[in-house]
Amino acid sequence: MAIEPDLKFFIGRQPILNRKQEIFGYELLFRAASHHTTAQFESQAQASASVISSALSDFGLQDVLGDKFGFLNITAGVLHSEMLELLPIQQSVLEILETIELDDNVRLRCSELKSMGFKIALDDHIYAPEHSAFYKMVDIVKVDIMATDPAELSGIAANLRKYPVQLLAERVETVEVFEQCLEYGFELFQGYFFERPVIIGQKRIDPSGIAMMKLLQQLNENWDIDEVEETFRENPSLTFNLLKLVNSVMIGLREKIKNIRHAIMILGINHLRRWVQLALFAGKDERGLNSPLLEMAAVRGRLMELLMMQRTGQSRTSDLVETAFLTGILSLLDALYETPMEHVVESLNLSEDMADALLRRDGQLGMLLLLAERLEKADFVVVQKLLDALSISLDQLLAAQLDAFNWRNSIVQGQRRNS
């Protein structure tokens, strides 16, 4: 089975959360790219083999995953292939597709892979008592919530919980479904329920959030250090975090911090602005860097920044590129603060092009934001159309994605060193 050496792929990365809505891992979704975004494979097995080969040679799974688990769809052909041993074993969850017959040969191969250190999951699985030997051996059973009769879900979960497996609810798109699955004993969750704001009346943004938003407004091109210093003085928790950040940046330097103004000057406006943008999420969300909202906001912002640079040829410090980054960062504040995006836009007094992007996905910024969102959903047909409209190549997109993933990973590592 020959694999084209120059085969190009789209990559999608969908978060899988635990019961605390912290990131447990990602399902990695790949599609071959062609002009019409249709896969040019002879068979499903070839597609899956090509995916793994490309992921290892072009993407680097550890760059994409950070320190989280990666869930990979495995076809029958690849299941029995030695290619699997090239994967980062301790981070890989092999999803046995629902199209694979669960016979003794498959069970023995899964047992062998488990002994190597892989985790095994049954994908889109329908409970059946005759598969008890698999339930005793696999690590995770994925249940497609959308394809399951709600009246039967409780019983299915109860039957599977008799075995030493983790139950993963797939396609969880509302908070109500998430809470129902929690009640039934599911431990892992895949779906985008967490990015939909639950708005009950008009919820006020808390004081720390208001202070962060105030800082964002102050840290513009014509910033006044006196105003910024005063905002830190008024918010001791912000000052504490500022000093922690400066200390992490100043590792190896002997200079002692004299006061708030000195800390601001050492850090510099660009570093300070980026920290404030991300701290909007990390400070509000007790999950910190394991929050899927922070994860998505960081990747969106960095991706939009890099693609705007590619598209315009402007430098990272240009207003347009900075605006692209900030648009990505702010695009999930409605979910974080459980308040309408209109209120977020009004609170920050944003420019018209940013408001158009955040509220209506209009304009150049809106198209870039929509591109980032469609990538998250692995909607590669729409992604290709947006790339064409924006005159961005697939190679540019993949390079920007990997940079964004790595940048987010570097934030995590930096925070851990400083904690």
Q: Rounded to a whole number, what is the largest CA-CA distance in the chain?
A: 72
Query: Model's pTM, two decimal places?
Result: 0.80
Q: Regarding beta strands 92-96 and 119-122, do their DSSP bridges make them parallel or antiparallel, or are they unpaired?
A: parallel
What span, in angstroms and rounded, lies between the C-alpha atoms of 372 and 330? 13
Task: Report helix, strand and coil shares of the chain as percent, to nearest 5.
Answer: 60, 10, 30
Average pLDDT, 10 consecutive residues per value, the chain (419 residues) = 55 93 91 53 52 66 87 89 86 94 96 97 96 98 96 97 98 95 98 76 56 78 84 74 69 62 84 78 61 86 94 81 87 84 81 93 97 93 94 93 88 56
CA distances from 120 to 29, 43, 48, 190, 297 (A): 17, 23, 17, 17, 30
pLDDT at residue 179, rounded to an integer: 96
Distance CA(312)–CA(318), nearest Å, equals: 10
Q: Tokens representing 374?
A: 């469609």
CA–CA separation, 19 and 60 (whole Å): 28
Q: What is the pLDDT of residue 202?
A: 47
Instruction: Specify the pLDDT at position 38.
Output: 40
pLDDT for 4: 46
Q: Give the position of tokens 């959308």.
A: 146
pLDDT score at 264: 86
Tokens matching residue 143: 């249940």
Distance set, CA 304 to CA 108, 268, 389 (Å): 46, 23, 15
User: Which amino acid, one-letter code, is at 324?
Assistant: A
Q: For residue 29, what pLDDT is reported?
A: 83
Domain ranges of the chain: 9-195, 207-283, 289-419
At 50, the amino acid letter reads S
Give the fold, CATH level 3, of 9-195. TIM Barrel (3.20.20)
Between CA 306 and CA 309 the distance in angstroms is 5
pLDDT tens-digit profile of 355-372? 999 999 999 999 999 999
Complete DSSP assignment for 131-173 = GHHHHTT-SEEEEEGGGS-HHHHHHHHHHHTTSS-EEEEES--
Q: How far is CA 22 from CA 93, 97, 278, 289, 409, in A?
A: 18, 25, 17, 9, 15
> 337-340 long-range contacts, Cβ below 8 Å, gap at least 24?
337/197, 337/203, 337/205, 337/206, 337/209, 337/284, 338/197, 338/198, 338/199, 338/200, 338/203, 339/197, 339/199, 339/202, 339/203, 339/205, 340/197, 340/199
Please report, as a single letter, which amino acid is at residue 80.
H
Q: Within 13 A of 330's CA, how many CA atoms are on the CB side?
A: 30
Distances in Å between the Cα of 250 and the Cα atoms of 21, 233, 244, 256, 271 are: 33, 22, 10, 10, 13
